[in-house]
Amino acid sequence: MDLTGMPDSVAAGQPTCKTWRAVNRRPASSNDDLDQAMTQLEPLLAAGEATRGLRIERSRGGLVLYRHWLDQPWAWPTDEPDRRFRLAPLGANHFGLSLWRGERWEKLPFDGALPDLVDVMNTVLPHWASEH
């Protein structure tokens, strides 16, 4: 300990238990990165059979893919978006894929570039992506 009563590791700027979480966090995605990803996603979603018609919105630092009740009149009057997938940025144009399971997001064992994840949605997960 130094004269201020702080442990030497804190005084030297080394991470402690309290600062370790902040040091190890993924870099936050900027709005520009998410806007670029949204622009890249739109034609990819439109080209896929199951993903055609999915809408995109930014939410809590990631992208949410959903269908709106106006696209599905039988779903009225629940006028909330019908969430399907969440793309969480992992850095360097790399995203993790999650599936909406009623009340929460369930992480899936898929991550990668946007074209690869849209391919997964259309081939492995078409039931969750398509209109019912």
Q: How far is CA 107 from CA 7, 31, 51, 96, 110, in A?
A: 39, 23, 19, 8, 8
Q: Using an 8 Å Cβ cutoff, are 96 and 111 in contact?
A: yes
User: For 35-58, what is each residue's pLDDT tens digit?
Assistant: 899 999 999 999 999 998 889 999
Report domain extents, the chain: 27-129
Q: Using an 8 Å Cβ cutoff, are 124 and 107 in contact?
A: no
Least confident stretch, 16-25, 33-42, 108-117, 120-129: 16-25
User: For 94-114, what is each residue's pLDDT tens digit?
Assistant: 999 999 887 899 999 999 999
Q: State the Cα–Cα distance between residues 19 and 70, nearest whole angstrom.
A: 46
Query: What pTM did the predictor assign?
Result: 0.69
Q: State the Cα–Cα distance between residues 44 and 13, nearest whole angstrom.
A: 46
